[in-house]
Structure 1
């Protein structure tokens, strides 16, 4: 990379951050606004190529890891079947349908190239959908399914893509070898991910330094991805498993690590997503120039693009409805989501930068590379703009919301606060018992500690509109700090136990842990 290219990237980053800042200020979906801005300014700027290696080895690992550590392993476990049907079944189904239709439209295109196109546009990127869904209050289960799908579907798509490109370049398709490679990539990614998760967990436990721990965590996604890719296993699965494991066990780290980690990954995620979606829009001009150079009829190619976009959308609906209701009927499940939730899930099929990176990674020697690039790009852009811009209106029209979940969370938080308070007060009582009858100054400190614990336990009840407030040699501040830190440890242990017993959700745990962490940070000062 020369200085001129670096300057262009810096200008793109600065402009993208300005657009993202405007989107946040106005409450608009930033990914969609960034794509639109990229499309509009693409003819005015020098070409800023989307390097597939930059996306797959620099952008993708931290984005996957960030999403994984913020996800709930327990909630994902509850929707394992739905996530598997989408991240594996739907990707394969979309690859076959899009590949078959592409071959019908372009019979001169090799079958392997048609299936490569199918694999390229098969995996949705849920970033835009989840951002809109969270803002509009989609049900938690639906958001979990979307997040789980986006975490694992890239692994399936990239493996199928490698098989198709190998067949295209090599000149033959061996179905058995393709299945074997798919199984090896998945199994290898799982094995490496689990091994590295245990290893990194032990390493972080030995650090006891929030700055060092967070610096290590910045390197973890790249290490997990490269370790798997070096042996031709799935780097995506490896990164996701490490992220889920460490995110689930984040409570074992120090309070400073958790507080710093939240800020580090929010900034990293925001920056990378901003650049990625801006780069998607900026690819318009080079892709149009490539199609023009191929001397194909632009109107005919545009018609092909529309057909493939429609087929991609229809294929998702054709899979989602049977995959939702047939297993429930076969296994006699009592959970049957309302149809409007399934419609929202079907419409949340926006594609992203992984699809474009895979398209740009098509070898130069492939004869119809420019056409495949154009069809991939138009599908990505159409899903982002058509589905993405209409997604909020669809959610409001169908009245899909998480009404009731917020009340249930607050109720669970109130009960958990009481349990945590009781655990902390038992520690306080033991301290008083061991240290004997307190003098007047010590008694005042103990009363302050007790009052603070009681006060915090009432905050959730107050939000619900119910409950009423409960009526030596150490300095008072040192005594308060020592005793309160002992109580905080007991409260944290209780909250984690309640999470593991499924009495509170991970989001409730994180919120309550953050309160305790901030209090401990103040005490440490």
Structure 2
């Protein structure tokens, strides 16, 4: 078993590496190759418990995805995300459940609804990989990523409810709603506690290796504890990831630089294994079926696959129209409150010295979710590939004690066909659809350029204020006669394009006015800190997109690394 997992992992990584090298979608290629290899006689048959698969794979993948999601964009798109992550999952569960009960009555209604909950949540790994490669707009990527962060929580909660009914428990509608509410409250609460703790550790521990190791561990802890107390482990991990990611700019640059490649490697490893495992399961799920049930189960599989393909667009477009209507109602109410003076009064009372002041226009802007065109919704409608959650919960459902063995096998087969069918059918055609519709981020690029120009001007002013403050400190320490030395330093600092250039310039020995490296390094770090603070303030005020802020901070991290590297390479005795 151990050797089999090793060989599967190695093969999956090789295929995924080839896909990345050629620019192909790695999840799809790994699945196709694994499916073909599954017919080779000597390939090991991996059998992994569904609960174990979920516990080992889902927390790190969710946490890594949540770290990369912009919290502000997530909050603005939350109405759209909520409709897909909760509403669409409920509708899909009901439609698939009724179809399955009609075609295969031996499943029973609770078992059919259990199947519906299993196949309901899409996995955005493939869609996100394709979207990033083809440059999908952030408004679309945010909705797809956000949906994948919360739809698993809805699906797994429904799974628990219907599994309890299958096992003989009596669960009313209100009890089901209560379980979902508790799952949300406990999950988010535990996730925030973990997020606060790990953030404080990131602020206080300077060793990026230790912090990176804690980062790999805590998703499992948050998930397990939340599940143990009846909460949603998915929401716990997501809440923790969003909190840590939002506050990441306040941590050291070494922590950020250590964290990024660590999670990229973890995602690459886990995703490669999961999609290889999906492909390798084909012979097993077919062999588990009896000859007399093959026709009925395959008919059911085709019907469920067709249903999940059609339900998504049938839900997305009306839900988007309803969301626009609701938004207009909220905006009209807000405008009436502005005219009556109640909103302005609340802003005055809510002033906080550490929070940027927000105008009424900015507050109103935060109520407006990014508008999705019909082309955007077409891409979202077709980005419904299923993944690890569907397969793992199906394997777990097959082991339920009170579920008929034939029904359990049928659930596994249907889940497998839906997962593989959506991965191949939608995954292979989604790039073509994006290109044909021309869904690109051109308008966002223009907005990014405008924001960059504004934040650079703001950063320049903040830098000048910082230098003036340091000038006063310099004069107080060295006297007024030393201002020529500081003026030369200031001129040199302002003219350089990057702080790496400033570090390089410190060794050119240009006369008596040239500052020492230690002095230059100190001011350069202060300059970087001022610029980072400007970026955070602009983001918090809603004037700078969080994704753009992260790109700029990554560039500043590289500049600070250049300072550290230059300082470490200096010869002893040089000023």
TM-score (ref. length: structure 2) = 0.84
1:421-460 equivalent positions in 2, closer than 5 A: 421-436=460-475, 437-438=481-482, 443-453=487-497
Deviation at 1:49, TM superposition (A): 2.0
Aligned pairs for 1:328-347 within 5 A:
328-332=324-328, 336-347=371-382
Moved more, 88-97 or 183-192: 183-192
Give the corresponding residue for 2:49.
51
- Of 497, 518, 528 in structure 2, the residue corresponding to residue 488 of structure 1 is 528
CA positional deviation for 1:455: 9.1
Aligned residue runs from structure 1 range 250-399, under 5 A = 250-291=248-289, 294-332=290-328, 336-362=371-397, 363-365=399-401, 366-367=403-404, 368-399=407-438
Partner of 2:81: 83
Contact 1:441 1:476 in 2 (8 A): no
Equivalent position of 1:468 in the other structure: none
Q: Which among 239, 259, 274 is matched to residue 237 of structure 2?
A: 239
The answer on whether the counterparts of 1:112 and 1:173 sit within 8 Å (CA) in structure 2 is no
Q: Which deviations, in whole Å up to 9, do the C-alpha atoms of 1:32-64 show, x marking residues without a partner?
A: 111111111112211012432332111110100
Counterpart-to-counterpart distance in 2, 1:309 and 1:342 = 20
The 1:523/1:222 distance shift into structure 2, 3 A limit, reads: same
- Aligned match for 1:503, one of 537, 543, 553: 543
Residue aligning to 2:196: 198
Give 1:364 deviation, angstroms.
5.0
Equivalent in the alignment of 2:10: 14
Secondary structure of the 1:502 match is coil
Per-residue CA distance 1:147-202 (angstroms, 9 max, x = gap): 00000000010010111111112165533332222222122112222222223322
Correspondence for 2:160: 162
Task: Work out the CA distance in 1 between the residues paired with 2:107 and 2:311.
Answer: 21
Q: Tell me the alpha carbon deviations over residues 87-132 of structure 1, each in whole angstroms, 9 at most, x when there is no partner.
A: 1111111000000000010122211110010000000001111111
Distance 2:434 2:48 in 1: 33
Give the equivalent residue in structure 2 for 1:518: 558
Written as runs of structure 1 = structure 2, the 5 A alignment for 1:103-122 is: 103-122=101-120
Partner of 1:402: 441
- Do the aligned partners of residues 328 and 273 (structure 1) sit closer, same or farther apart at CA in structure 2, a change above 3 Å counting? same
For the residues of structure 2 that align with 1:193 and 1:417, how far apart are their CA atoms?
35
**Residue equivalent to 1:132:** 130
Q: Deviations over 1:2-57 (max 9, x none)?
A: xxx11111111111111111111111111111111111111221101243233211
Query: Displacement of 1:522 after TM fit?
Result: 1.7
Deviations 1:389-442 (A, max 9, x none): 000111111111111212321331232123223322322233234323447665
SS at match of 2:106: coil
Q: Are 2:484 and 2:513, in contact at CA under 8 Å, matched by a contact in 1?
A: no
Unpaired runs of 5+ residues, structure 2, are: 330-367, 476-480, 502-511, 566-575
Post-superposition offset of 1:65:
0.3
SS in 1 for 2:38: helix
Aligned equivalents of 1:473, 1:9: Cα separation in 2:
64
**Shift in Å, 1:448:** 2.5
- Alpha carbons 2:226, 2:233 under 8 Å: kept: yes
1:465-476 mapped onto 2 (5 Å cutoff): 476=516
Residue 140 (structure 2) aligns with: 142
2:100 paired residue number: 102
Q: Distance in 1 between matches of 2:473 and 2:204?
A: 32
Q: Give 1:176's aligned residue.
A: 174
Q: Distance in 2 between matches of 1:171 and 1:476?
A: 76
**Shift, 1:524, TM fit:** 2.0
* Alpha-carbon distance between aligned partners in 2 of 1:355 and 1:144, rounded to the nearest angstrom: 22
2:489–2:514 Cα contact (<8 Å) kept: no
Q: In the aligned structure 2, how far is the partner of 1:66 from the partner of 1:324?
A: 28
CA distance in 2, matches of 1:448, 1:67: 41
Q: Which residue of 2 aligns with 1:465?
A: none
Cα RMSD over matched residues? Answer: 2.1
Q: Distance in 2 between matches of 1:489 and 1:10?
A: 45
| Cα distance change, pair 519–99 in 1 and its aligned pair in 2 (3 A) | same
Aligned residues of 2:67 and 2:244 also touching (Cα < 8 A) = yes
Q: Could you tell me how far apart the structure 1 residues matched to 2:285 and 2:153 are?
A: 26
Instruction: Give the structure 2 partner of residue 222 of structure 1.
Output: 220
Which one of the candidate residues 36, 42, 55 is aligned to 1:40? Answer: 36
CA contact (8 A) 2:500 2:563 kept: no
Retained in 2: the 8 A contact 1:305–1:378? Answer: yes
Deviations 1:439-472 (A, max 9, x none): 7665544433222258999xxxxxxxxxxxxxx9
Kindly indicate whether the alpha-carbon contact (under 8 Å) linking 1:192 and 1:228 is maintained by their aligned counterparts in 2. Answer: yes
Does the CA-based 8 Å contact 2:485-2:513 persist in structure 1?
A: no
SS class of match (1:332): helix
For 1:469, the equivalent position in structure 2 comes to none
Question: Given the superposition, is the C-alpha separation of residues 31 and 187 from structure 1 closer, same or farther in structure 2, using an over 3 Å criterion?
Answer: same
Secondary structure, counterpart of 2:322 in structure 1:
helix
